[in-house]
């Protein structure tokens, strides 16, 4: 049986930060043989979750011998992942034109490979800002609030990089040819906004922050503070779920008829806030447990692993003393590989070079 659905895929990842390493980790979780090209050896770090399941090869890309070894490694791979600014790989002599035609060359950036900002530094918050998404996040009476770095870095970045890689793998099965995948966060974030764009076009979404169905304005789609200082999340959008919210929270049943009357929302939010402040988070969680009211306690990172549902599914695992996510998604016939702690940076250099055909003497020279 194959060890994961991607066990046949060979990936070379040029080490960096953020979305590209996560993409490599997720491919490794699904069985791909992911080899990172690193600049300098370092001890194993169990907290470097994005390195789990990968092998590491240290090469000096500024030397002719190191560059030649990198070219051999690329030629033996199906996919290359890099997350540098445009033209960095070209300057190293490892751009797409220097690689085999069958290679899928996956490039991860914030701004993309071209355009006025292509060579400019940026972070998740900046990419969200220029796509319009950040303006919609947070309360109406304060500046927008960044959603950690989940939306642009990992949603619009990592996930679209993976979509591009796997789409190109499928297409290569037809054409026999590789191609460059240009995954830009400023492209990926808008691609996830189909529902919002539809509501904007229909006139059912206001560009005023904190005035809409999904941005915290609706009393039935927001978080409330409980008696203990913790929070409860309420997402009772559909009428039948809204009715259950009213019933179990002891709120007026008459509110059902005017659920979507925005003129009522401010007063109802204050009313519901008073109601939820009357019990602790865990008391409310017990009241709504097993119902379809779409109410759930807001857990901290450390609490989440102990929730009965998360525990039953094994959503989180402890590896080397570090809490982290189990591989996702799940497969019935080719389950993902078991999660193990990251190895030391450079630990696999000798084995990788040997597989590329280097003799012992040359390997020692390359490894310094």
Domains of the chain: 10-192+338-366 (3.40.50.10540), 221-311 (3.30.1540.10)
Mean pLDDT of 26-37: 98
* Mean pLDDT of the residues in the chain: 97
Distance CA 220, CA 235 (A): 6
Indicate whether 2 pLDDT > 70.
Answer: no
Q: Which two tokens stand for residue 122?
A: 């940026």
Helix (H) / strand (E) element for 319: namely strand 316-319
Residue 270: partners with Cβ closer than 8 Å, 6 or more residues away: none
Dihedral (Cα; 180, 181, 185, 189), 10-degree rounding: 140
Name the catalytic one among 153, 215, 242, 348.
Answer: 153
**Per residue in 75-104, pLDDT tens?**
999 999 999 999 999 999 999 999 999 999
If you average pLDDT over residues 129-149, what whole number do you get? Answer: 96
Number of neighbours of residue 169 by Cβ within 10 angstroms: 16
| β-bridge pairing 322-325 and 104-109 | unpaired
Q: Is the pLDDT of residue 341 over 70?
A: yes
Share in percent of the chain as helix, strand, coil (round to 5): 40, 15, 45
Is 335:4 a contact under the CB 8 Å cutoff?
A: yes
Query: What single-letter DSSP state applies at residue 256?
Result: G
pLDDT of residue 1: 43
CA-closest candidate to residue 126, choices 106, 88, 160, 153: 153
* pLDDT, position 167: 98
123 annotated active-site: yes
Which percentage of the chain shows pLDDT scores above 70?
Answer: 99
183/251 Cα distance (integer angstroms): 47
pTM recorded for the entire structure: 0.96
DSSP one-letter code for 152: I
Strand partners, 138: none
User: CA-CA distance, 280 to 332, in Å (whole number)?
Assistant: 40
93 phi and psi angles, rounded to 5 deg: 85, 20
Q: What is the DSSP letter of 246?
A: H
**300-338: per-residue pLDDT in tens?**
999 999 999 999 999 999 999 999 999 999 999 999 989
Contacts (Cβ under 8 Å, ≥6 apart) of 222: 216, 233, 234, 269
Catalytic residue of the set 123, 248, 271, 307: 123
- On the question of pLDDT at 32 being above 70, the answer is yes
* Angle between helices 159-175 and 19-29 in degrees, nearest 10: 60
What distance in Å separates the CA atoms of residue 316 and residue 5, rounded to the nearest whole number? 21
pLDDT bin (cut points 50, 70, 90) of residue 114 is very high
Q: Are the beta carbons of 35 and 345 closer than 8 angstroms?
A: no
Confidence at residue 76, expressed as pLDDT on a 0 to 100 scale? 98
pLDDT value at position 7?
Answer: 97
Instruction: Determine the average pLDDT of the residues in 217-241.
Output: 98
């Amino acid at each position: 049986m194959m060890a994961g659905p991607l066990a046949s895929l060979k990936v070379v990842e040029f080490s960096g930060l953020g979305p590209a390493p996560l993409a490599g980790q997720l491919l490794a979780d699904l069985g791909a043989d992911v080899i990172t090209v690193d600049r300098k050896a370092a001890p194993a770090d169990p907290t470097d979750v994005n390195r789990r399941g990968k092998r590491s090869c240290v090469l000096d890309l500024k030397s002719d011998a190191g560059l030649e070894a990198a070219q051999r490694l690329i030629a033996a791979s199906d996919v290359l992942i890099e997350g540098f600014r445009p033209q960095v790989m070209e300057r190293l002599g490892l751009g797409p034109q220097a690689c085999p035609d069958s290679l899928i060359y996956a490039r991860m950036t914030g701004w993309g490979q071209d355009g006025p900002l292509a060579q400019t530094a940026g972070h998740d918050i900046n990419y969200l800002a220029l796509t319009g998404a950040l303006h919609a996040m947070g309360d109406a009476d304060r500046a927008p609030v960044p959603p950690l770095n989940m939306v642009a870095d990992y949603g619009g970045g990592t996930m679209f990089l993976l979509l591009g890689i796997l789409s190109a793998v499928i297409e290569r099965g037809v054409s026999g040819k590789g191609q460059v995948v240009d995954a830009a966060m400023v492209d990926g974030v808008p691609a996830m906004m189909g529902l919002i764009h539809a509501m904007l076009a229909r006139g059912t979404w206001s560009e005023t922050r904190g005035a809409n169905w999904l941005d915290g304005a609706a009393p039935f789609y927001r978080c409330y503070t409980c008696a203990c200082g913790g929070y409860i999340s309420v997402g009772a959008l559909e009428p039948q779920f809204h009715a259950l919210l009213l019933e179990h929270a002891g709120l007026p049943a008459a509110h059902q008829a005017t659920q979507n009357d925005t003129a009522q929302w401010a007063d109802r939010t204050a009313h519901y806030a008073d109601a939820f402040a009357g019990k602790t988070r865990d008391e409310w969680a017990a009241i709504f447990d097993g119902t379809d009211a779409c109410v759930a306690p807001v857990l901290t990172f450390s609490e989440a692993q102990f929730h009965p549902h998360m525990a039953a599914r094994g959503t989180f695992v402890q590896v080397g003393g570090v809490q982290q996510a189990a591989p996702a998604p799940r497969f019935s016939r080719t389950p993902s590989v078991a999660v193990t702690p990251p190895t030391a940076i450079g630990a696999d250099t000798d084995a990788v070079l040997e597989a590329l055909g280097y003799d012992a003497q040359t390997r020692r020279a390359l490894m310094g």
